[in-house]
Structures are given as C-alpha cells and as structure tokens.
C-alpha cells in the first residue's frame, strides 16, 4: 500500500526527533554509575518528575516517573492533596501535551525501534481505533481507582499500574537492577508477581514489533493524560487551514489512530509533514514555527528559515550544556553519589543466615524440627557473669559488630544501639511509599510483643520521604502506640550507611546478643522467617546459658 510506504520511508534516516528521543533517554538516566554499581539514585533530585515515561527504579534514573508520582499522590489523598504532581502534570500537558510521547519518551523510542524489525505489520483499522480507548479504562482503574481505594480504605500505598502492568518498571527497574552482578542476591525476592509482569512485558514488546507503538496506543495511562491537553498545548503540530485541501494524506499515513492532526491520539511527531503535498503542516511553539514544511510556512519572511535554524542550534547548544552538567553532577558531584561511591558492595548472606530465611513448602522455617525443641532465654534470667561484649571488627557484614548509633524516635525518645547488648536486635529499613514495607511491619510488632524484654527493635525510614511525612503516616496508621519505635534517617543517610542500607526496600538487619550481624538482606520477611532469625540470633551468642527445653 502506497501510504504505508510513505509512512515508513522517512524513518530510514535519522533526524532531529530521533536525536531528541535519544537525548531525553540519556538525560532522564544521567546517573550512569547506577548501571555500574547496581543501585538506584536516591538524591533530592528524585523528588522531581521527568516529562516522559521512565521508571523511578531504573539504575540511571535521576527523576521520578510522573505516572508513579500521581499514583502515590492519589494513595495519600486522604491525608494531603498532591498539588505538586497535579501541577507539574498540568504544566507538562499545557506546554507539550503528547509532544512528550513523540519526542521525549524513552519507552516510545524503544517501541519504534522494535517496530523496525522486518516482519508483517498490523495496519490500523476500526479495531485499533476502538482499542485506543482502552488506555483510558486502564488509567481509570489501575492508575486512579486502585491507588485511591487502597489509600483511602487501607492507608496503604499501592500504585496499581506500576505494580501489575508497567513494562518500563520490569525492563528498566527490575531487569536493570537484576542484570548487575552486585544484585544476584535479589533474585531470591522474585515471585509470581515478577513472573506475570515479565510475561506482560514480553507480550507488549512482541506486539510492538507487529503493531506500531502498541503500548502508546492501547495501554499507556500517561499518554491518555497528556492526550487530554492536546487540543490546547503550546508546542505541537499545527495545520495551516488556508493551505490544507482536506485530502487526508496526513491521517492515512499516520501510524497512530488519529482522526485528524492534533487530536488526542496525535503524538505530534511531525511525520505527517513529509506526506502533506500542500505544505500545510508545521511544528509550532505558539505562533513561532520550530519546524516548517519543505516549502516554508505561509507567513514566512525573507530570513525566516535561517532564523529557525539559528534558534534550533541555540536550543540544542543549551540542551547539550544541560546534559553535560547533569552527567557531571549525578555521577561525580552530587553528595549522595559521593557517599555511595565510598560504600562497600552489599553483603552476601552466609549459609547459616540463608538457611534461617529458607522456608519449607509448608511455610515453616527450614530446620524447624530442631528449633521447635528449644526456646529463648529471657534476658533477666541470664547470669550476670555472662558477657556480651564482642571483639569482632566494626562493620555491617555477617559476623561483624555493627557500629553504635543513637537516633531520636517519633515518640520523643531515643534508640541507642549500645543499650541493647544482651538482647536480640532487629533493624528494619522501610518507606511509606513501599507497599511490602508497610505490609510486613505488623509482623515485626507481633514478634516484639511475643519476646518483649528479650528483644530490641527499630524501624528506620529512609531520608527520601514520600507524599506524606513518615511520622504523620505512622500516627494515621495507629502505629504510634506500638512497642516498635520508629525513626527517620537524617539527610546524610547516616543510619543507612552504618547498616549498608539499600535503595531497594524493605531491608532487615538482625544482630545477636553481642551486637554482631547475623543477617543483612533486602526483601520482605514472613512471620516464620522472623521467628527463625530470632532463634538463630539467640543461639549465636557464645556464653549464654543453654535455652530451656520445652519438649517436656
């Protein structure tokens, strides 16, 4: 079909749009050291949203994904309005609309490259046009309804689209981290949810090979949001009604399911300019022409084309300066990056701690037959002659003695690690924005209650807070009357450095009665794992009297 040929031909040569797509992908992921270290960037810049679809958990990401941010804002709407997220999305929409999809979205670039694989292609039709409305249903259900429901009903952060569908989260986030040898221990965290999302990612990727920008057209909630602004966005494709003869070549040659140039499905890529025989289409910023058709615009003056070239060169010059600055800052100058560069690789669990965390098919701790015959010895029954001083070196790895620290708690008290000698210590790293973190904290409280007087605990929130302050979140959840104390790490991430806290949460650190690390792992824990770790820590402090035999 001729129009299909016309549509594909311009893509055979690189142009300014392809360069813009590559540029934005690099700018959004300017933290290149993250791909080397296997850790995501957690500096203050992460509070800002980038315009396009780019996963927050990508090792190189230096900003937040606007879709993830709006879901977190909706989950917190019962406590505070997400004015920043709504404002920044509105700003992006009014200025650019779906121009972001066509020019500034890394996921759009990936889809277009996949579509270049030579195969039979699915052409647009009434069916694809009808399916293009599916993304608005996905927006309403997964990006709005689910976060609102869990936020208002259960006070639980659950970004539905990110958790159940998002291929960018799987490809950029999960696979971006797991592909690094430093994160081999995180494979144990994978479950059925990752398997389902991995299959969804493969299906979407395969569909993009046969059908142009399938994710954009049928699934993407962010594109659905930006499409609402397309009618009045400042920068985008505009049609000169005085030149247009209504031939429809632009619509027929477009790979998207547009009814007319500039509607809610138009990504403002400008490819229709190549097929318009009347030179009626241009890309404009308000009344200023950024890219004119081959024959120029109707209102062009004598030097209009030269002025446009100079403006475009100046914009690219400024963009390159911004990119170089971002690469320098996010890889070398940012204080957060400098601190993490001095940190050691994440510890690998010993065989003992791995066995303690392993579960049998019935959900009981491995070795539970032997464990069930003993019980812990309460601290007040330990003879005074027993010493719990350790001569192990200071460190966070298995077998080392964790450095002492003091941190103020949300209840007005303080937690001093040195005061916990003689007790088993659990340190939990969590975040209000981390669904597994919030779900597992009640299990820590339950363990604390069961072994009160013989155990010490502290839940430390990352310095990177979400939509709601951690102390307010704890109070709203009713956790402020728990035995488990809560604390917030300082802006220098002092506590996270002491325990080698990961950017992936939750993380649990367990110390024996001598203050030595017996477990330091990222990932959720079960009640059986917690009990098993408690008993292992209890048994790993030489000099303690034998635990009581409860077999009788």
Sequence-distant (6+) residues with CB within 8 A of 3 are 249, 252, 253, 275
Residue 245 CA from chain centroid, whole number = 47
Q: What is the pLDDT of residue 387?
A: 65
Across the chain, mean pLDDT equals: 86
Pairing outcome for strands 424-430 and 414-416 = unpaired
For every residue of 214-241, DSSP letters joined together read HHHHHT-HHHHHHHTTTTT-SEEEEE-T
Helix (H, G, I), strand (E, B) or coil at 135: helix
pLDDT digits (tens, 9 = 90+) for 224-260: 999 999 998 999 999 998 899 999 999 999 999 999 9
Q: What is the pLDDT of residue 464?
A: 82
pLDDT digits (tens, 9 = 90+) for 278-327: 999 999 999 899 998 877 887 777 788 888 999 999 999 999 999 999 99
pLDDT at 454 > cutoff 70: yes
Distance CA(225)–CA(264), nearest Å, equals 9
Distance CA(70)–CA(88), nearest Å, equals 10
Distance CA(154)–CA(151), nearest Å, equals 6
User: Average pLDDT in the 341-368 region?
Assistant: 41
pLDDT digits (tens, 9 = 90+) for 169-196: 999 999 999 999 988 877 877 889 899 9
Least confident span in 36-45, 394-403, 526-535: 36-45
Q: In what order do the strands lie in the sheet with 507-511?
A: 486-488, 455-461, 424-430, 507-511, 517-522
pLDDT digits (tens, 9 = 90+) for 321-348: 999 999 999 999 998 888 777 654 444 4
pLDDT digits (tens, 9 = 90+) for 115-131: 999 999 999 999 999 99
Q: What is the pLDDT of residue 156?
A: 86
Helix (H, G, I), strand (E, B) or coil at 313: helix
Burial class (CB in 10 A: 0-12, 13-18, 19+), 375: middle
pLDDT at 102 > cutoff 50: yes
User: Average pLDDT in the 440-469 region?
Assistant: 91
Q: How many residues does the chain have?
A: 552
Check if the beta carbon of residue 228 is closer than 8 Å to that of residue 266.
no
pLDDT more than 70, % of the chain: 86
Distance CA(73)–CA(272), nearest Å, equals 37
For the packed helices 66-75 and 83-95, what is the interaxial angle rounded to 10 degrees? 150
- What distance, in Å, lies between the first and last C-alpha atoms of the chain? 85
Cis peptide preceding 506, ω within 30 of 0: yes
User: Average pLDDT in the 154-167 region?
Assistant: 92
Instruction: Decide which of 274 and 382 is more confident.
Output: 274
pLDDT at 223 > cutoff 60: yes
Distance CA(65)–CA(47), nearest Å, equals 10
Q: What is the 3-class SS of 264-297, one letter each residue?
A: CCCCCCCHHHHCCCCCCEEEEECCEEEECCCCCC
pLDDT confidence band for 14 (50 / 70 / 90): low
Distance CA(237)–CA(267), nearest Å, equals 9
CA atoms within 13 A on the CB side of 505: 26
Q: What is the pLDDT of residue 357?
A: 39
Distance CA(526)–CA(364), nearest Å, equals 10
CA atoms within 13 A on the CB side of 491: 2
pLDDT confidence band for 198 (50 / 70 / 90): very high
Distance CA(190)–CA(178), nearest Å, equals 10
pLDDT digits (tens, 9 = 90+) for 512-534: 999 999 999 988 899 999 999 99
pLDDT at 90 > cutoff 80: yes
Distance CA(133)–CA(138), nearest Å, equals 9
pLDDT digits (tens, 9 = 90+) for 49-71: 999 999 999 999 999 999 999 99
Q: What is the pLDDT of residue 342?
A: 66
Domains (range + CATH), the chain: 2-336 (no CATH), 351-539 (3.40.30.10)
Instruction: Decide which of 95 and 189 is more confident.
Output: 95
Structure token pair of residue 386: 């027993």
List alpha helices for 359-410, DSSP H: 368-371
Candidate ranges 72-76, 339-343, 459-463; pick with highest mean pLDDT: 459-463
Q: What is the pLDDT of residue 402?
A: 94
Long-range CB contacts (within 8 A, 24+) of 193-201: 193/163, 193/164, 194/170, 196/164, 197/164, 197/165, 197/166, 197/167, 197/169, 197/170, 198/170, 198/174, 200/165, 200/167, 200/170, 201/167, 201/170, 201/171
Sequence-distant (6+) residues with CB within 8 A of 283 are 235, 236, 237, 238, 268, 270, 273, 289, 290, 291
Least confident span in 363-377, 387-401, 456-470: 363-377
Question: Which strand (E) or helix (H) includes residue 458?
Answer: strand 455-461
User: Average pLDDT in the 80-92 region?
Assistant: 88
Q: What is the pLDDT of residue 336?
A: 83
pLDDT confidence band for 47 (50 / 70 / 90): confident
């Amino acid at each position: 079909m001729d129009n299909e040929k016309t549509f594909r031909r311009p893509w055979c040569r690189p142009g300014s749009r392809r360069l813009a797509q590559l540029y934005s992908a690099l700018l959004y992921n300017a933290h290149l050291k993250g791909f080397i270290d296997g850790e995501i960037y957690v500096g203050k810049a992460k509070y800002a949203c980038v315009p396009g679809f780019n996963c927050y958990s990508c090792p190189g990401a230096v900003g937040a994904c606007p879709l993830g941010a709006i879901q977190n804002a909706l989950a917190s709407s019962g406590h505070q309005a997400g004015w920043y997220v709504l404002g920044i999305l509105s700003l992006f929409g009014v200025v650019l609309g779906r121009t972001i999809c066509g020019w500034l979205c890394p996921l759009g670039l990936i889809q277009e490259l996949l579509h270049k694989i030579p195969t039979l292609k699915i052409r647009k039709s009434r069916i694809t046009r009808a399916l293009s409305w599916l993304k608005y249903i996905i927006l309403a259900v997964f990006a709005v309804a689910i976060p609102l429901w869990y936020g208002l009903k259960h006070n639980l952060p659950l970004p539905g689209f990110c958790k159940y569908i998002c291929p960018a989260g799987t490809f950029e986030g999960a696979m971006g981290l797991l592909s690094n040898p430093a994160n081999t221990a995180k494979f144990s965290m994978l479950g059925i949810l990752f398997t389902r999302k991995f299959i969804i990612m493969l299906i979407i990727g395969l569909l993009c090979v046969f059908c142009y920008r399938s994710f954009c057209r049928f699934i993407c909630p962010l594109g659905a949001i930006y499409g609402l602004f397309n009618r009045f966005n400042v920068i985008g494709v505009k049609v000169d009604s005085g030149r247009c003869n209504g031939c429809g070549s632009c619509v027929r040659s477009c790979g998207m399911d547009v009814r007319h140039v500039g509607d809610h499905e138009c990504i403002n890529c400008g490819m229709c300019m190549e097929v318009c025989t009347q030179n009626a289409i241009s890309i404009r910023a308000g009344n200023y022409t950024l890219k004119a058709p081959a024959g120029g615009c109707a209102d062009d003056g004598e030097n209009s084309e030269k002025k446009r070239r100079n403006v475009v060169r100046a914009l690219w010059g400024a963009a390159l300066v911004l990119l170089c600055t971002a690469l320098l800052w996010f890889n070398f100058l940012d204080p957060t990056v400098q601190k993490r560069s001095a940190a050691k690789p994440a510890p690998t669990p010993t065989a003992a701690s791995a066995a303690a965390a392993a579960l049998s098919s019935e959900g009981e701790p491995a070795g539970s037959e032997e464990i069930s015959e003993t019980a812990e010895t309460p601290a007040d029954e330990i003879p005074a002659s027993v010493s719990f001083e350790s001569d192990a070196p200071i460190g966070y790895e298995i077998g080392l003695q964790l450095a002492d620290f003091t941190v103020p708690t949300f209840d007005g008290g303080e937690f001093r690690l040195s005061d916990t000698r003689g007790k088993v210590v659990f340190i939990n790293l969590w975040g209000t924005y981390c669904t597994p973190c919030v779900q597992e904290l009640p299990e820590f409280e339950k363990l604390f209650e069961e072994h009160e007087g013989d155990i010490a605990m502290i839940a430390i929130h990352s310095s990177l807070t979400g939509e709601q302050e951690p102390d307010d979140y704890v109070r709203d959840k009713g956790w402020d009357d728990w035995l488990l104390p809560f604390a917030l790490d300082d802006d220098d991430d002092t506590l996270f450095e002491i325990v080698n806290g990961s950017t992936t949460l939750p993380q649990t650190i367990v110390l024996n009665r001598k203050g030595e690390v017996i477990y330091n792992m990222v990932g959720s824990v079960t009640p059986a794992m917690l009990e098993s770790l408690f008993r292992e820590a209890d048994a790993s402090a030489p000099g303690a009297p034998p635990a009581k035999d409860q077999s009788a």
